[in-house]
Structure 1
Amino acid sequence: MRALREARCFLAIGFHYAAEVPTAMNALEKRSVSALASVYAMRMLGLFMVLPVFMLLGKDLQGATPALLGLAIGAYGLSQALLQIPFGMLSDRVGRKRMIYIGLILFAIGSLLAASTDSIYVVIAGRVLQGSGAIASVLMALLSDLTREEERTKAMATVGMSIGLSFSVSLVLGPLIGSHFGLSGIFYATGALSLVALVIVHRVVPTPHQQRASADTQPAREMLGRVLSEGRLLRLDFGIFSLHLVLTSLFLVFPTVLEDKLGLASSSHWWFYLTVMVTSFFAMIPFIIIGEKKRQMKAILCGAIALLTAAAGALSNLRHSLLFAWIVLFFFFMAFNLLEASLPSLISKEAPAASKGTAMGVYSTSQFLGAFIGGSLGGMMLESIGVSGVVGLMVAVLLIWLLVALTMPTPGYTTSFMVQLQQAVSGRFDDVDASLRELPGVRDVVIVEEASTAYLKIDRQEFDEGRLAELAFVRQGNSL
């Protein structure tokens, strides 16, 4: 989920850096970024289209119970969580595009398996197989291979916005396709999208001449302990876990309430979701800007969690008014979109130097685990207690997250900055480290000796990039 994101995983980064990176992508980079963004979007679109209709259409499957339907919704999250980092590391050995081919083929097979059955158990197996094509980290690694460091942030923002758009579109297309072709039609469409993505990777995405390990995009085993011991990051990981647990739980109850309690036919759900998603997206943008520009991210974060908690609690009182249901969902997704956009930016700021890729890998794993737990545990609560049980689960998790957020330190306002070093500095890395730490605005330095690269954490309000030109060990024209 993600979704979202891996759901809008880099949206806030796009806002934050749009005015800071004046360079332009070359033709190869534009082609690579647009192609990979479309692959990302089609994969997410396929995963998300089933969300707004599965509880309505899946109840006709053989053996279906609320608990099993919930498990089917969240099942992909378990295999995604388990395989996300291994897929990325395997791509270092066997090649990026080969692992992407394997992932998309697994995704297509899982989609076709779920489409060709009327058994809930086979659908669950298909969803697990869909999730086993865990190629998000591989796509980001390939993006790293095909773009220059100074264009990386814009590339990530483009991919992130395509994911956000795909989620919004999925809430419209899912009910439309489902009303005409049923649940199997959605899964067949999902399989077709994965095959189209396969063709794009093969025919449009260039094959890199060499694979380059990037601490900004790829997890590394040696960084894992440092990331898992950092309390600030763990709080954010719990945040994305909670956010996607709540999102998955929402779709266990909301579509049924719309149809059974409020009388809105499933074929008309698309316009309800469309108006909510468009308005809530634009409503959250000013808060992103205020949080970044005024350095009020903790206040914005806590306020959004509180709003999400209130909206989740209001889900138990939607029986009489479609307008009230629209307002509740509007505030839910305004808060959700804001948090989905803010959390990756905070991970980027809080990750130790040279550990962003590992931090994002743990973050993504937490996100998918949240989707799995939200579906499976939420489904059990729905079966044993009813809608109030699912709403109680959502509110309880959000209240814990709010407490965690209120007690966390104010986030830092640093960002990653990479500096290429002259080959001649070999053996003098301690002096290089000390010189870089003396620059105003530099908060942390990690030097990767074999790559002649220094990763800095900097405060852009204090850092003067021009000072790097005064350092003899810096390779000019190659810093980010």
Structure 2
Amino acid sequence: MSSSVMNKTERKVTFSLAGVFAMRMLGLFMILPVLTVYGDQLIGATPALLGLAMGAYGVTQAILQIPFGFLSDRVGRKPIIFAGLILLMLGSIVAANSESVYGVIIGRALQGAGAVASAIMALVSDLTREEQRTKAMALIGMSIGLSFCIAMVAGPLVTQWWGLTGLFSFNGLLALIAMVLVWRVPTPVQQLQHRDTFPVISEIRQVLANTDLLRLDLGIFVLHFVLMALFVALPLALERLAGLPREQHWWVYLITLLSSFVAMLPFIILAEKKRKLKPVFLGALCLLIISLVSMLWSSNHFTGLLLNIFLFFMAFNWLEASLPSMVSKLAPAGRKGTAIGIYSTCQFLGAALGGIAGGLVYQRYGFTGVISMAALVAVIWWVISWSMTTPPYLTTLMVNLKPVNDQSVADVSAALSAIHGVQEVVVIAEEQSAYLKVDRARLDMQALQAFELKA
């Protein structure tokens, strides 16, 4: 932890892999605001099948993202990432050349099969120093959020100009650009196997037994369930109920996303700096529910619908940004990678089932049915979250130890635990590492750095 500045290689790795994440997620997200309004051109299209097409990527993503991560240990990070991006490109080509909704469903499932998030994060860990890793992960997280915002605007514009065929072809081009970015990244000399990045199979049961983490897993499941269900119905409501032509949808998302992002910033500061995380979390969830319920009465009124879209995105953006941070705070030392792996799987399952359920409900009950379902699911989440433990304001750190053996683990653990601000220590002898949960506001950084030098 001796340097606070990234070196040239770390900057290249971080920005290149952030670009890979952004290209990949941009392609997957761009379909959300357009599929149901343009998908009626596809042979055999029904709301239920279009919902399945929207959520299909989440099914394969949820199934394959952890196995792809483990496979990258065996054959290398970059080969797995290239393979995943090739699947993304193939899925885009299949969907672009399909005249039927079934071809688009197959294409979307192939797109999701390129589940390389774990492998990318592992490559970041291999090529950055511990003291720069959190910064690198944060920049990648920002790239994902930015790609979502761009996708909501770019999706309607690209589809307006070139149709669904052009949109999926553009997805394939993004996958190709991502491959070029991966090619620019150095191949790691040594692959790290540490528990802040990777799930540990033997610890999945213990993590699933943690009720506070389970609440957050349910939370990200519900959040993406609601998002996907909403985007089955919302574009159709803008066009058919509020009377806004599909060619103009892009500016609705531009205005509401930008303004909601600015509006949520004070609440991020309040939650983190003022340590009001739980009340702000429950407040954001209330706002999400209010925006959904209000949509039931504003769907025929453009101004009211616009306001509620703004409120929805304000709550969604805050929750999307804060839930991973809460998982990191609550995950026991040495089990963060396992906790994040389970959390990510729940996220993709939520997206899959949200699209599927949204399509089925819309086909039978229309806009009102979808929004009522989404609001009900969000209310259940709020009730379950009411009794959650306030997440501790702790950060995970990893300390490299050389040498350490089974006999010296207790001594190393005791020495680290004695450092002011260290709340929890787990020493893994086979990894020559210690995982700490620390309160950065109280941490004696000089003592920790001195320990590292001696270790």
Shorter-chain TM-score bucket reads over 0.9
Which of the numbers 398, 406, 409 marks the counterpart of 2:389? Answer: 409
Q: Aligned runs of 1:80-159 on 2, under 5 Å?
A: 80-159=61-140
TM-score computed with the length of structure 1 as normaliser? 0.92
Matching residue of 2:190: 210
Q: CA deviation at 1:321?
A: 2.5
Deviations 1:94-135 (A, max 9, x none): 000000011000111011101101111111111111100000
Deviations 1:10-34 (A, max 9, x none): xxxxxxxxxx997111101111111
Please tell me whether the aligned partners of residues 230 and 358 of structure 2 are also in contact (alpha carbons under 8 angstroms). Answer: no
Q: CA deviation at 1:463?
A: 2.2
Residues 341 and 425 of structure 1: CA distance in aligned 2, closer, same or farther (over 3 Å): same
Which of the numbers 385, 399, 424 marks the counterpart of 1:444? Answer: 424
Q: CA deviation at 1:67?
A: 0.8
Aligned residue for 1:444, secondary structure, equals strand
Code of the aligned partner of 2:412: V
Please tell me whether the aligned partners of residues 194 and 431 of structure 2 are also in contact (alpha carbons under 8 angstroms). Answer: no
Of stretches 450-459 and 357-366 in structure 1, the one that deviates more from structure 2 is 450-459
1-structure distance, mates of 2:19, 2:118: 15
Q: CA deviation at 1:370?
A: 0.3
Q: Does 1:468 align with 2:448?
A: yes
Q: Does 1:357 align with 2:337?
A: yes
Which of the numbers 225, 229, 247 marks the counterpart of 1:267? Answer: 247
Matching residue of 2:20: 39
Q: CA deviation at 1:470?
A: 5.7
| Aligned-residue identity in percent | 50
Residues 175 and 437 of structure 1: CA distance in aligned 2, closer, same or farther (over 3 Å): same
Matching residue of 2:257: 277
Please tell me whether the aligned partners of residues 140 and 217 of structure 1 are also in contact (alpha carbons under 8 angstroms). Answer: yes
Which of the numbers 431, 438, 443 marks the counterpart of 1:458? Answer: 438
Aligned residue for 2:355, secondary structure, equals helix
Please tell me whether the aligned partners of residues 259 and 265 of structure 1 are also in contact (alpha carbons under 8 angstroms). Answer: yes
Which of the numbers 174, 181, 204 marks the counterpart of 1:200? Answer: 181
Matching residue of 1:77: 58
Deviations 1:284-337 (A, max 9, x none): 111011101111110010000000001011222234422211110111000000
2-structure distance, mates of 1:418, 1:233: 21
Q: Does 1:299 align with 2:293?
A: no
Matching residue of 2:362: 382
Please tell me whether the aligned partners of residues 102 and 133 of structure 1 are also in contact (alpha carbons under 8 angstroms). Answer: yes
Question: Which ranges in structure 2 are unaligned for 5 or more consecutive residues?
Answer: none
2-structure distance, mates of 1:21, 1:157: 19
2-structure distance, mates of 1:40, 1:21: 29
Matching residue of 1:160: 141
Residues 424 and 173 of structure 1: CA distance in aligned 2, closer, same or farther (over 3 Å): closer
Residues 276 and 183 of structure 1: CA distance in aligned 2, closer, same or farther (over 3 Å): same
2-structure distance, mates of 1:416, 1:21: 17
TM-score computed with the length of structure 2 as normaliser? 0.97
Q: Does 1:191 align with 2:172?
A: yes
Question: Which ranges in structure 1 are unaligned for 5 or more consecutive residues?
Answer: 1-19
Of stretches 335-344 and 191-200 in structure 1, the one that deviates more from structure 2 is 191-200
2-structure distance, mates of 1:422, 1:89: 25
Number of equivalenced pairs: 455
1-structure distance, mates of 2:346, 2:253: 26
Runs of 4+ in 1 over 4 A off after TM superposition: none
Q: CA deviation at 1:404?
A: 1.3
Deviations 1:199-232 (A, max 9, x none): 2212x11111111112221222122222111111
Code of the aligned partner of 1:81: A
1-structure distance, mates of 2:88, 2:54: 15
Code of the aligned partner of 2:198: Q
Please tell me whether the aligned partners of residues 224 and 358 of structure 1 are also in contact (alpha carbons under 8 angstroms). Answer: yes
